[in-house]
Amino acid sequence: MNTISRRHFIEVLAGAGVAVASGGWATDRLLAMVEEGTLRSPRLPGVQRWVPSLCRLCPAGCGIRVRLVDGLPVGLEGNRSDPVSAGGLCPAGLAGLQELVHPDRVRTPLRRDGPRGSGKWSVISWDEGLEEVAISLRILRSQGRPEAFGVLERGDSELTRRWLQRVMRAFGSPNLITASGPSSWRAAWAYAADRSLPPVADLANSDFILSFGHELFETDGHPVWQSKSWGRMRAPTAPPGVSVAYVGPRVSPSAIRADLRVAVRPGTEAALALGLVGILIMEDRVDRTFVDRWTTGFYSREEPRGPDRQGFESFVRRRYSPEDVSRITGASLDEIFRLARVLGSSQRPVAIVGRAPLSGEDGMATAMAIIALNLTLGAVGRPGGYVAASTPPLDFPEPVVPDAIARRGLSALRVDRPDPPPLSAVGQCPARLAANLLSGKPYRLEVLLIHGVNPVHAWPGAKAFEDALATVPLVVAVGPVVDETARWADLVFPEASFLETWQLLPPALGLPFEYVGVQQPAVEPLYESRSFEDMWFALARRVGEPVAGAVPSGTFAEWLPSAAAGLFHSGRGTIASGVNELRVADFMQTRGWRAPGPKTSEAFWEALRGAGSWLGGPPAERSPAQLLGASERGRFEFWPPRFERDASKQSGSSIPAAALYEGRSGRADGNGRAGAFAHAGDYPLRLLLFDTNTLWEGRTALTPLMLELSGFREDIAWDSWVEIHPETAHRNRISDGDRVRVESPAGALLVRARIAPIVPPDAVAMPRGLGHKHFGRFANGVGVNPLALLPATVDPWTGSAILGVQVRLASVRV
Amino acid sequence: MSKPDVHGPWYRRGIDLLRLMSIVLMWLFLGGVITWMVNVVRVSHSLGDALTVSVGVSVVAVAVYTLVAAVLTYVFFGLQRGRGGPEK
Amino acid sequence: MPRWGMVIDLDRCTGCGACVAACKVENNVQFVSAAESERGRRMHWLRLLVESTGTYPEAEIRIVPNLCVMCDNPPCTKVCPVHATYLGEDRLVAQIYPRCIGCRYCMAACPYSVKVFNWSDPRWSAETRSILNPDVSLRPKGVVEKCTFCHHRLQAAKEVARADQRPLREADYQPACVQICPADAMTFGDLDDEFSPVSQLRRSARAMRPQEHLGTEPKVYYLQRRDAHV
Amino acid sequence: MRTFEPSATSDPALFRSIDHTTTKFYVTVGVLAAIVLFAVFMYVRQVVLGLGVTGMMQPVTWGFYIVNFVFFIGISHAGTLISAILRITQAEWRRPITRMAEVITAIVLAIGGLHPILDLGRPERVMNVFLFGRLQSPLLWDVTSISAYFAASTVYLYLPLIPDIALLRDRSRRLRWFYDFLSWGWQGTPRQWKVLSRAINIMMIVVVPVAVSVHTIISYIFAMTLQSGWHSTIFGPYFVVGAIFSGIAALFVTMIAFRSAFRLEAYLKLIHFQQLAKLLLAMSMLWTYFTFCEYLTGFYGGEPEELKSILYKVTGQYAPLFWLMVACNFFIPLVLLGFRRFRTIPGILIASIGVLVGMWLERLIIVVPTLENPRMPFPSGIYVPSLTEISLFAGALALFALSFLGFAKLFPIVSVWEIQEGRALAKVEMEERIQSYLPDEQAGHVQA
């Protein structure tokens, strides 16, 4: 029995609270109490501490505070002083601790026993494991074919990506493959603005957000920041009015909360966007000043490059009259007009697009159309419109100079390059990797390092990917658990959780202001796990010169302060210290004022760790000019000539300019797009995939909390479901809760039916993220994986997977 | 079981004792009920929780039990006194 | 003494469910197996009630966070045979787990269906057990539990205030759900304080309390959605 | 003044069940015991694993246990109330019936009283009811009123039993000491008769209000909440009527069963059944009337939640059960008991079984649908009892039969002395009446 009375215990707790809350006089008293407590009994009552850090369960990276009692993590909450998430979190954020202590975490490096995928492992030491990889890498270099080393990475932390790039460059391989969402958006902007890094929407300052399937409150963009902004928009004191409109086929949770909701057929978002432009033109709501000054290709007069040498204006008016659009999209005329008028009458409207529409058959066209709409609205290069994504001034070593071997390697084609090649603006084609490895063109990989992605579960064509892995002699997987992909690896390295490791995180999704969050360990890494960065450094060192020279001598954690020094020396921004100070920062920035900060970079680092984030204030670049890259005519292109060239090159014959906005499959007719509806006969239903903020793409689906909340709005737990329109259900004699077979040309699934008027009669919707086979004891066998229904089809323009397929339902009699 | 010697004095005493116990038991039961009620009322008082209700209910309950016990006792002694002679 | 209450602005609520998760973690509410949850044994102190009406695409779906409304005149405490649920000194409806005999009368009597019952013993794996919130006791099988407005936080806040030798301030204490809400839809504070945000909000024309006609005097208010005028 | 001496020899039929034990008896007991034991096993399992083994869930947190609780307590009204009423009204035909009625009460009350404990999530804490009980909770009203009723009705069963026990003692076959002790020294002296009959008269008055209170209070468990479908002033009388209704039915079933089992046709004659059947019919009408009132007011008022649960019962998920209940409690009795042609033993048996089923359904329909229709738009499921609950129900029924057999093995299930008293009184009464028709002795002598 310990001798400490409850009263005393409370005092300790209270003291701790104060120590944290005010850092006041109580601290010493607290320490004193702890002192005597320690002397008295080994079992001390809780002394609590808070560690500010970042949630890394999704790319957003919200600020969190981890609650430690006696050094053990027992709680996690939003960090109020984080200027982005401002103390808010999404449900997934709460799962962090459960992931930290997941019973099935990989504890040591593992080497495969028996055939691949057999799931038999033997424990090895880090040295053995790393040496094994290093040897084969050295051999590759000695053989002069460093390009045979590939890295497949999630790439949602900037610094890690840069270190990967740097080392790969020194090693001599172009094959750093980062799999982050569809590339159409990025590519489209690259053409329209001649700019590699796409701008981001300044949602917080816009008064009307038109969302094309962008799940504001679920999984697109930065959900928590968006929710916070929404919360401010809807403050009880704010005047009621339209602030958000949602366009999309499914009545998603974000659609529910939108003030205006326009249901369109799947894949017809582009048509609606063009239709809106048409009405804006008719009703003379176009931002003429912007269009005249900053764009080209809008009017027929100035050297037009449009179809039949027409300007964008007349192209739209001719091809996308409201009637046509209504017929194509299935939206009623007055819905379209209503939307257009709100759009036209708002001060700072902006149109954004989610991943779903961009992953459809004609992602490029959709992206182009929505960019065009924004240009027409002048929603580019102004507050509340599209502004430059932030690139905080973090210090990073100069790029290495590759040696001869490396240069040869770097000159090789990327291993994921489709044939024929995609549009030149497209860099990454992860979806092509499997096919290329199998065909051996352009060449095979000898070593493949996989980190943070689980293609066998999360990408279409799992089987193909498994076979592709079989062609690679050495596959190395780094992750917290042995997931479906790691199961096919030869070596598995245990990755430490984000609660055990360091990181400086500029927002991966881009935010309309400069911001860097500090992720710092709440606990020492459990078991033998290490951070991915440290593993990478260690590996580089083992490969030897010149690669070893590319990485610092110390650990990643030791290097970070020097990166942060960049923020200090930039002389800009402040260390975040309170909610909602974005406006303050803006105010001061615009006046060139600046809050007094630490004097030395060391002090700066300490302060930064204490607060959890650095706020650089509003984007440096807010004028259209600064958004334009080395554009040919210094204007935004409605008919980007490069796009046209690339597309023609790609398809082998010159393509009509209209295709830029209508896609390869041509203009949608009343029945939707030809490509998508190939099987319309025997597979009458369109399958819509969506993500929930508890499962994401399966990333968080390994904790009991998330699994139990998998369908918390549908009153479904520990299971997936398929959303069916009542009519469709009636036609197929399915009632709510039944098990139904969802069949596609690629496969079939048995899943629980959820009948609700939230999907169109000609479509069904399923959540991604469940149906794991190997993802820890909790997730295994829970629900189904809809990606099993998808054929591994790749968009030849963007090289990304097309997430769309036609299915049919068969009710199962039990 | 072996037939008891119905004429032996011990047998008679035993039976009488049993009978007495049965009636005592009834009163013990009543006592139990009363203590319970008192306790419950005390609790409700100390917690400031609907004292009047508690008192009301307990009074009624106790009254009923007492009545039953009284009747039983009346019968018991009535029968004892009403005997014609010693039981054979 | 403050009268703690909550105002939930349904116009701001996005139904993201962060409050549900936060509540579950903060209060060590047990997880149930897939099979058990199929049989309607899922346990939430705070859950989202979803009402959907209308037809596609105009389907109207209303999501309402449902938690103990902390009645000033609670129907549940009246019926408890052993004083295991009662109106505590903070005017919060409390549960005494070690005393509850599990008759579930309070659940039957609660018009808001916010009380949950431990149908079986919680099965915490050793690992999960290590991250449980030390401030909240675990409940065994066979007892009723429910939202406490994170009462343990109030206790801690009081102690901190005392250690600081100052009166308890409204800002010292917030339940987990309110704190986590990414849309700031939930406001918490002292209903008696004329100028506290909650009492300002509850005077709004949109404010209503669930099942008000029952005279249970809930301390949780909802602000109805404002539908946009176009 | 009593002028007769009850004799053990004149009615051997009434002692047959005590003296002769057939193999059939043993078999029956064996089977019943097996069922009871299985139920006990299932209950222990439930205590170990928690209430998860039942079919109850969120928000349907009350199921079979509470339904059966109400049902059994209802049946317990058969006895005491009926026999008391019959005694008070000095209905001569009561004599062979009262004993059985009172036994049913005592046994079923004990069994019914156990059910709330079966329903507890933490039965080992039941002592808290005594340590921290709150008399403000209807549940505690129940605890008190039921135990009081139990005490009263046991006494009320025991007192009229004393003379018969004395008879058994004097026949002195087995267990003499046992009867000797229980007979409390009864010798049938006039004084003892006076004491006993006075006591009985007091008790038969006392039990009536107690009995009524018991079922009223059971109804309060529901009526005191605010839930739609429960919160109703009519519930008290409604439950009492239902209780007596089901009680009589149960009495009929037992009577008929024992009549054939122990060949008591000579004592339980058709006339008795027909008399009692009228009472059953009356109760059926009364019950129907109450049901009508209850639902009409709720329906007409049309308060949304109220309406929801009513429609749920009448047209929704529960419609089949609801209408089956109405058939069992109204139409079947009306037909079988209403027409003399059907008012035979089999007819009455069918009607009574029907009523038992119907009344059980009524309890179910009162308890569950309300819980399945909470006021909030709460995702709610359909309650389906699990094996545990069903086997415990079976166990309870078996236990009842078992105990009744046990009683019949020890004591006459038809009151011997009351029968004989009946005969004696009849003789006396007859002579007096004849006398009253005839002229007096002196009337013949004419004055000279």
Q: What is the pLDDT of residues D284-312, one digit of tens each?
A: 999 999 999 999 998 998 888 889 889 99
Which range has the worst mean pLDDT, A47-61, B3-17, D136-150? B3-17
Which range has the worst mean pLDDT, A764-778, D167-181, D336-350? D167-181
Q: Is residue D334 part of a domain?
A: no
D134 shares contact with chain C (CB less than 8 Å): yes
SS (H, E, C) D127-167: CHHHHCCCCCCHHHHHHHHHHHHHHHHHHHHHHHHHHHHHH
Cβ distance C101 to D125 less than 8 Å, yes or no, reads yes
Q: A584, exposed or middle or buried, with CB in 10 Å at 0-12, 13-18, 19+?
A: middle
Angle at the Cα of A726 from the Cα atoms of A721 and A728, rounded to 5 degrees: 85
Q: Identify the domain containing residue D413 by its residue range.
A: 16-123+135-280+385-417
Closest to D78 in 3D by CA, of D179, D169, D211, D172: D211
- How high is the pLDDT of residue D431? 83
Angle, to 10 degrees, between the axis of helix D235-261 and the axis of helix D64-75?
70
In angstroms, the CA A474 to CA A446 distance is 6
pLDDT at A19 over 50: no
The answer, yes or no, to whether B and C have at least 3 beta-carbon pairs within 8 Å is: yes
pLDDT tens digits, A497-518: 999 999 999 887 778 888 899 9
Domain holding D53: CATH number? 1.20.1630
Q: Using a CB-CB distance cutoff of 8 angstroms, which residues of chain A are in contact with residue C12?
A: 230-231, 234-235
pLDDT tens digits, C12-29: 999 999 999 999 999 999
Which range has the worst mean pLDDT, A25-39, A443-457, C72-86, D151-165? A25-39
SS (H, E, C) A177-225: EECCCCCHHHHHHHHHHCCCCCCEECHHHCCEEEEECCCCCCCCCCHHH
Q: pLDDT category, D264, cuts 50, 70, 90? A: confident
Tell me the residue length of chain B. Answer: 88
Q: Which residue of D has its CA nearest to B68?
A: D152
pLDDT at C65 over 90: yes
- How high is the pLDDT of residue B10? 82
pLDDT at D390 over 70: yes
Q: Which of D49, D139, D376 sits opposite C120 (nearest CB)?
A: D49
Could you tell me how many CB contacts below 8 A there are between chain A and chain C? 215
Min Cα distance C78 → chain A (Å) is 31
- How high is the pLDDT of residue B3? 53
Chain D residues 362-391 with a CB less than 8 Å from chain C: 371, 374-381
Q: pLDDT category, A227, cuts 50, 70, 90? A: very high
Higher pLDDT, D342 or D173: D342
In angstroms, the CA D409 to CA D373 distance is 48
Higher pLDDT, C88 or A491: A491
Chain B residues 42-71 with a CB less than 8 Å from chain C: 43, 47, 49
Which range has the worst mean pLDDT, B1-15, C11-25, C166-180? B1-15
Which range has the worst mean pLDDT, A10-14, A233-237, D194-198? A10-14
Min Cα distance B15 → chain D (Å) is 5
pLDDT at D164 over 80: yes
Q: Which of D132, D175, D181 sits opposite B18 (nearest CB)?
A: D181
pLDDT tens digits, A165-209: 999 999 999 999 998 777 899 999 999 988 878 888 988 888 899
For CA atoms C13, C18, C21, C24, give the dihedral sign.
negative
pLDDT at A117 over 70: yes
* Proportion of chain A above pLDDT 90, given as a percent: 56
The answer, yes or no, to whether B and A have at least 3 beta-carbon pairs within 8 Å is: no
Backbone φ, ψ for residue A721 (5° rounding): -155, 165
pLDDT tens digits, A229-240: 899 888 888 877
Q: Which of A14, A22, A243 sits opposite C162 (nearest CB)?
A: A14
Q: Using a CB-CB distance cutoff of 8 angstroms, which residues of chain A are in contact with residue C202?
A: none
- How high is the pLDDT of residue A22? 35
Q: Using a CB-CB distance cutoff of 8 angstroms, which residues of chain C are in contact with residue A93?
A: 18, 21
pLDDT tens digits, A681-699: 788 999 999 999 999 888 8
The residue assigned the tokens 């799940």 is: A215
Which range has the worst mean pLDDT, A592-606, C150-164, C178-192, D387-401? A592-606
In angstroms, the CA A613 to CA B61 distance is 69
Chains that touch A (3 or more CB pairs under 8 A): C
pLDDT tens digits, C182-228: 999 999 999 999 899 999 999 999 999 999 999 999 999 999 988 75
Whether A79 and A63 have beta carbons less than 8 Å apart is answered as yes
> Mean pLDDT, to the nearest integer, of A565-584?
76
Residue A205, sorted as left (phi over 0), alpha (psi -120 to 50) or beta, turns out to be alpha
Is residue D41 within a helix (H) or strand (E), and if so which, with residue range? helix D23-49
- How high is the pLDDT of residue A194? 84
Residue A1 Cα distances to A45, A114, A484, D386, angstroms? 12, 52, 47, 44
Contacts of B21 (CB under 8 A, 6+ apart): none
In one-letter notation, the amino acid at residue D37 is L
Which range has the worst mean pLDDT, A379-388, C213-222, D428-437? D428-437
Min Cα distance B88 → chain D (Å) is 9
Q: Using a CB-CB distance cutoff of 8 angstroms, which residues of chain D are in contact with residue C111?
A: 226-227, 374-376
> Mean pLDDT, to the nearest integer, of A17-34?
39
How much is the mean pLDDT over chain A? 86
* Proportion of chain D above pLDDT 90, given as a percent: 50
Q: Is residue D427 part of a domain?
A: no
Q: Is residue D327 part of a domain?
A: no
Whether D98 and D81 have beta carbons less than 8 Å apart is answered as no
pTM: 0.90
pLDDT at B8 over 80: no
pLDDT at C10 over 70: yes
Q: Using a CB-CB distance cutoff of 8 angstroms, which residues of chain D are in contact with residue B67?
A: 206
In angstroms, the CA C19 to CA C150 distance is 12
pLDDT at D78 over 90: no
Q: Using a CB-CB distance cutoff of 8 angstroms, which residues of chain B are in contact with residue C84?
A: none
Q: Is residue D164 part of a domain?
A: yes
Cβ distance C82 to D129 less than 8 Å, yes or no, reads yes
- How high is the pLDDT of residue A306? 65
Q: Using a CB-CB distance cutoff of 8 angstroms, which residues of chain A are in contact with residue C54?
A: 757
Q: Using a CB-CB distance cutoff of 8 angstroms, which residues of chain B are in contact with residue D177?
A: 4, 11, 14-15
Cβ distance C86 to B49 less than 8 Å, yes or no, reads yes
Chains that touch B (3 or more CB pairs under 8 A): C, D
Q: pLDDT category, A631, cuts 50, 70, 90? A: low
Within A668-737, residue ranges assigned H as helices are: 704-708, 726-731
Count CA atoms within 13 Å of residue A178 on its CB side.
Answer: 16
- How high is the pLDDT of residue A671? 43
Within A258-379, residue ranges assigned H as helices are: 269-282, 288-294, 312-319, 322-329, 333-345, 355-358, 363-377
Two tokens at D150?
A: 């139990």
- How high is the pLDDT of residue D47? 93
- How high is the pLDDT of residue A44? 47
> Mean pLDDT, to the nearest integer, of D360-386?
90
Q: D3, exposed or middle or buried, with CB in 10 Å at 0-12, 13-18, 19+?
A: exposed
Could you tell me how many CB contacts below 8 A there are between chain B and chain D? 114
pLDDT tens digits, A392-440: 889 999 999 999 999 999 999 999 988 888 888 888 889 999 999 999 9
Q: Count CB atoms within 10 A of the CB of residue D188.
A: 19
In angstroms, the CA D204 to CA D88 distance is 7
- How high is the pLDDT of residue D421? 84
In angstroms, the CA A268 to CA A473 distance is 44
Concatenating the DSSP letter of every residue in A504-556 gives EE--TT--SSEEEEEE--SSPPSTT-B-HHHHHHHHHHHH-TTTGGGS-SS-H
pLDDT at A88 over 70: yes
Q: pLDDT category, D94, cuts 50, 70, 90? A: confident
- How high is the pLDDT of residue A345? 92
- How high is the pLDDT of residue A813? 64
Q: pLDDT category, A305, cuts 50, 70, 90? A: low
* Proportion of chain C above pLDDT 70, given as a percent: 99
- How high is the pLDDT of residue D180? 83
Closest to D267 in 3D by CA, of D395, D99, D401: D99
* Proportion of chain B above pLDDT 90, given as a percent: 34
Q: Using a CB-CB distance cutoff of 8 angstroms, which residues of chain C are in contact with residue D121?
A: 100-104, 117-118, 141-144
In angstroms, the CA D255 to CA D96 distance is 10
The count of domains in chain D is: 1
Q: Is residue D167 part of a domain?
A: yes
Which range has the worst mean pLDDT, A291-305, A786-800, D183-197? A291-305
> Mean pLDDT, to the nearest integer, of A629-642?
80
The residue assigned the tokens 């204007």 is: A635
Contacts of D121 (CB under 8 A, 6+ apart): C100, C101, C102, C103, C104, C117, C118, C141, C142, C143, C144, D50, D51
